[in-house]
Amino acid sequence: MTQGPDLSVEALDEAAAALELERLAAEICYHDRRYHGEDAPEVSDADYDALVRRNREIELRFPALVRSDSPSKRLGAPVASGFAKVRHAVPMLSLGNAFGDADLREFFARLHRFLGQDGAAAERVVAEPKIDGLSVSLRYEAGAFVKGATRGDGSEGEDITANLRSLEEVPERLEGKAPVVLEVRGEAYMTKSDFQIINARQEAAGLKVFANPRNAAAGSLRQLDAAITAQRPLRLFAYAWGTLSGRPEDLLGDTHWQALQRLKAWGFVVNPLSRLCQNQEDALAAYRAIAALRTDLNYDIDGVVFKVDRLDLQARLGFVSRAPRWAIAHKFPAEQAVTKLEDIAIQVGRTGALTPVATLTPVTVGGVVVSRATLHNEDEIKRKDIRIGDSVVVQRAGDVIPQAVSVLLDKRPADSTPFVFPTHCPCSLSTPVVREQDGAIARCSGALACPHQQVEKLRHFASRGAFDIEGLGEKNIKAFFDRGLIATPDEIFTLAARDSEAAEPLVSWKGWQKRSVRKLFAAIEARRRISLQRFIYALGIRQVGEATAKLLARRYRSLAGWYTAMLQAADERAAAPETGKAEEVGEAYAALCDIDQIGLSVADDLCRFFQEPHNLAVLERLEAALEVEDAAQSDEGGAPVAGKTLVFTGSLKRMTRSEAKARAEALGAKVAGSVSKRTDYVVVGADAGSKAAKAQALGVAVLSEDDWLRLIGETA
């Protein structure tokens, strides 16, 4: 039997190949531990790469011999067509922010208002440093790591399983007894010292250096060749969980603090600075203590996250929009720097809003080079008296857009003059700028004819929270628009067909190759199926953000249902333009206004969108090109209130009104803000007022709090 590391792969027989793969697995694992876990590599990068390459070549020749602990499974292989998408069974939501002690106190006050008499118990919170890294999800089945993904947009991320396997702090198997299914959430990051080493390597190789450790970590995890990721020293702190087979209290304990200890027992690293706080004052003290350590830490943090400790209270509090009610990120104060304001440019957004943006002499703020900053609007420029040529204080907090805070008047040039805000849009049409009554926003009156608005609407349509089409960023959209390839969203989905017949196909453009063209068209095709919520948000209707799109999807369920209802509401609004009472406009319009958190202003913007023939034509073409999924029914669709419309009024005793609304929505009910003949139940508490009287006048069923609890199967 021929064997040995000196033999060529071609000279190995099957038995020798099996022994060689065993040797390579052990040797590569050893060097991984020395490099990633101990920062003490014993071989050069070239020698290490040779081991990995030999292992891969043997596996390609003898695929039946691939081991369960193969380095190729841990290191990964090049992916030719980008990352696969992973749908999060439990969304990875963002956090609300607090920027001062008053904001944190208001967070606790909201807990009290929502939970009523149990609010005091929610003051017991866990404080965790907010790591400035990349959020990831790790799925374990029967204790074995099977899939890893980025957070993405919270609902869907990218499959980076192979890359995550290279992190020493991602256990291949959980220690001790593990759940059948466990999804762990954590933050991948790079230490400051490792960041310096990586940048030194990049610079020595003539490659682009990273701006900060977070960018280095994110760029490393999103390498298509996981072997590159394995060469980058990444680490991970575990902090939460998603999917769990079984009851959290049985597997994790009754509190978040106990759950963190359980994660450590399974083999994860939990941030050692995390601490349990008994009340508001203890939480504020923890914030100050962690902030004082910030500069001495070997990793970046940008705040402290506070989470309600009791898991049963977390479940009751639930979520609002895209964030949990039971957690908040108390951010550190913004970092500032002084630089020169060289010019003021005017950007036109997708709704026609004109936003002044400062062009700055590049300056480093919070580890990031800043060359542009928002000036907000015309009134802010006047209030701060910001002028071209001024020396300005610029600040940046976390991922917030840099902003010009103030002017250093003692450094102002003698010949400076006040900035004059344009009266006409900078677009090619030069249409007049209008300001809404009592509003600070100036808008181009050119509407959809304005090319700036068209480009911005296209960019929004393809953005992460909407269709999330990889490769259709601002630069490419602008290029396609300027060349007449894409003018409306529906033309995105005919681009490939038209390109195949074009005199100058995309592959002939500068900067494009066959592979990048294929990737773009594949990304577009992958988004022909989309949720109703994302579809509504992607249309860029004024005042319809992600939260409002979710409300509309939940209420109307299907594209056909929403489309028909909006057309009817738009017709009713057009016929009654002067009235301010929804019920006097028409049934469909009133039903739209009935949706909790949607008022007359949002309803009117929806109606304006559906009153424009151009928009309807685009919608019809999109409907023909796409498969828009119906909104998911509640998991408790069999509940007696599923599909019913409820209104809550007055003060409840067993739970707060906010908690009652959240519970109703979780059971599949629709919660409205006003009573109408479409209302199924009105739940009244003490001091119910006019809504209870109106319900009786309309013959709507009125329930006491005890009636409500009995109806949903809870003990009154």
Residue 427: which pLDDT band, with cuts at 50, 70 and 90? Answer: confident
- Between 604 and 4, the higher pLDDT residue: 604
Maximum CA pair distance of the chain?
A: 94
Average pLDDT, stretch 256-282? 96
HEC string of 598-612? CCHHHHHHHHHHHHC
Give the model's pLDDT for residue 135. Answer: 93
Is the sign of the CA dihedral 159, 161, 167, 168 positive or negative?
positive
Q: Which two tokens stand for residue 345?
A: 């440019």
Pairing state between β 156-158 and 85-87: antiparallel
pLDDT at 625 over 80: yes
- Contact, 529 vs 629, CB < 8 A? yes
Average pLDDT, stretch 140-149? 93
Give the model's pLDDT for residue 412. Answer: 94
Give the model's pLDDT for residue 97. Answer: 84
pLDDT in tens, 681-710: 999 988 777 888 888 888 899 998 888 888
User: Among residues of the chain, what percentage have pLDDT more than 70?
Assistant: 90
Give the catalytic positions in this structure. 130
Average pLDDT, stretch 45-67? 75
**pTM of the predicted model, to two decimals?**
0.56
Q: CA-CA-CA-CA torsion for 530, 536, 538, 544, nearest 10 degrees?
A: -150
Q: Lowest mean pLDDT: which of 68-77, 428-437, 483-492?
A: 68-77
Q: Which two tokens stand for residue 190?
A: 């790079």
pLDDT at 437 over 90: no
Residue 67: which pLDDT band, with cuts at 50, 70 and 90? Answer: confident
Q: What CA–CA distance (Å, rounded) separates 305 from 537?
A: 29
pLDDT at 149 over 80: yes
pLDDT at 26 over 60: yes
pLDDT at 715 over 60: yes
Give the model's pLDDT for residue 34. Answer: 54
Residue 2: which pLDDT band, with cuts at 50, 70 and 90? Answer: very low
User: What domains can you pick out in the chain, each with its CATH number?
Assistant: 9-75 (1.10.287.610), 96-331 (3.30.470.30), 334-445 (2.40.50.140), 447-527 (1.10.150.20), 532-629 (1.10.150.20), 645-711 (3.40.50.10190)
Residue 671: which pLDDT band, with cuts at 50, 70 and 90? Answer: confident
Give the model's pLDDT for residue 374. Answer: 87
Give the model's pLDDT for residue 48. Answer: 66
Give the model's pLDDT for residue 400. Answer: 59
Give the model's pLDDT for residue 79. Answer: 32
- Contact, 457 vs 489, CB < 8 A? yes
What does the mean pLDDT of the chain come to?
85
Give the model's pLDDT for residue 281. Answer: 95
- Contact, 293 vs 193, CB < 8 A? no
Q: What share of the chain is helix, strand, coil (3-state, %, to 5)?
A: 40, 20, 35
Residue 580: which pLDDT band, with cuts at 50, 70 and 90? Answer: low
Cα 686–Cα 689–Cα 692 angle in degrees, nearest 5 = 90
Give the model's pLDDT for residue 216. Answer: 85
Residue 8: which pLDDT band, with cuts at 50, 70 and 90? Answer: confident
CB atoms near residue 54 (< 10 Å): 17
CA 661 to chain centre: 25
Query: Which residues partner with 319 through β-bridges?
Result: 324
On the CB side of 678, CA atoms within 13 Å amount to 19
Contacts of 521 (CB under 8 A, 6+ apart): 495, 496, 499
- Contact, 404 vs 386, CB < 8 A? yes
Residue 36: which pLDDT band, with cuts at 50, 70 and 90? Answer: very low
pLDDT in tens, 281-309: 999 999 999 998 987 889 989 899 999 99
- 463 closest CA partner among 559, 349, 329: 349
pLDDT at 634 over 70: no
CB atoms near residue 428 (< 10 Å): 11
- Between 350 and 62, the higher pLDDT residue: 62
- Contact, 155 vs 91, CB < 8 A? yes
pLDDT at 537 over 90: yes
Give the model's pLDDT for residue 307. Answer: 97
Q: Which two tokens stand for residue 282?
A: 């203890």
pLDDT at 584 over 90: no
Residue with tokens 């249902």: 561
Residue 77: which pLDDT band, with cuts at 50, 70 and 90? Answer: very low
Give the model's pLDDT for residue 519. Answer: 92
Q: What CA–CA distance (Å, rounded) separates 435 from 183?
A: 50
pLDDT at 3 over 90: no
Is the sign of the CA dihedral 274, 279, 284, 289 positive or negative?
negative
Give the model's pLDDT for residue 358. Answer: 94
Residue 505: which pLDDT band, with cuts at 50, 70 and 90? Answer: very high
Give the model's pLDDT for residue 209. Answer: 80
Residue 608: which pLDDT band, with cuts at 50, 70 and 90? Answer: confident
Q: What distance, in Å, lies between the first and last C-alpha atoms of the chain?
A: 78
Residue with tokens 């992916």: 79
